[in-house]
């Protein structure tokens, strides 16, 4: 399937909104704040937020209606940290074997 310039532009807007949201994990942003931060129209913000929510990358805070990144990112960050810790452990073991073989 070939991507059209419009599809690519729309994806860019969604990623721009997500990038702004990532800096506001705890309290989120109001749609108007997102519009101001991205220079996108309120209708474009509504479409981008709907896309992110539908895909599980963002969520609305029930008490305030603000939008924040979903916990999916925190879970992914934890997974990355575990992977790094595992790799470091393997490197430490290798280094220990190399130094004992001298």
The answer to whether the CB of 68 falls within 8 A of the CB of 29 is yes
- pLDDT (mean) for 22-31: 93
Q: Rounded CA gap, 11 and 67, in Å?
A: 18
- What confidence score (pLDDT) does residue 62 get? 92
Buried b (16+ CB within 10 A) or exposed e, 1-25: eeeeeeeeebeebbebbbebbeebe
Q: Which residue has the higher pLDDT, 49 or 26?
A: 49
- What confidence score (pLDDT) does residue 97 get? 86
Q: Which residue has the higher pLDDT, 73 or 92?
A: 92
Q: What are the residues whose beta carbons fall under 8 Å from the beta carbon of 91, sequence distance 6 or more?
A: none
- Predicted confidence (pLDDT) at residue 37 exceeds the cutoff of 60: yes
- What confidence score (pLDDT) does residue 74 get? 83
- Predicted confidence (pLDDT) at residue 98 exceeds the cutoff of 90: no
Q: Rounded CA gap, 46 and 99, in Å?
A: 58
Q: Rounded CA gap, 71 and 53, in Å?
A: 12
- Model confidence at 73, pLDDT cuts 50, 70, 90, reads confident
């Amino acid at each position: 399937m070939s991507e059209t310039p419009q599809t690519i532009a729309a994806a860019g807007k969604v990623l721009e909104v997500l990038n702004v949201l990532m800096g506001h994990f705890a309290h989120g942003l109001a749609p108007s704040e997102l519009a101001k931060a991205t220079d996108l129209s309120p209708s474009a913000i509504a479409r981008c937020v709907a896309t992110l929510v539908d895909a599980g990358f963002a969520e609305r805070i029930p008490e305030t209606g603000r939008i924040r990144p979903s916990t999916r990112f925190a879970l992914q960050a934890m997974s990355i940290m575990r992977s790094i810790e595992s790799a470091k452990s393997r490197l430490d073991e290798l280094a220990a074997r190399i130094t004992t073989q001298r």
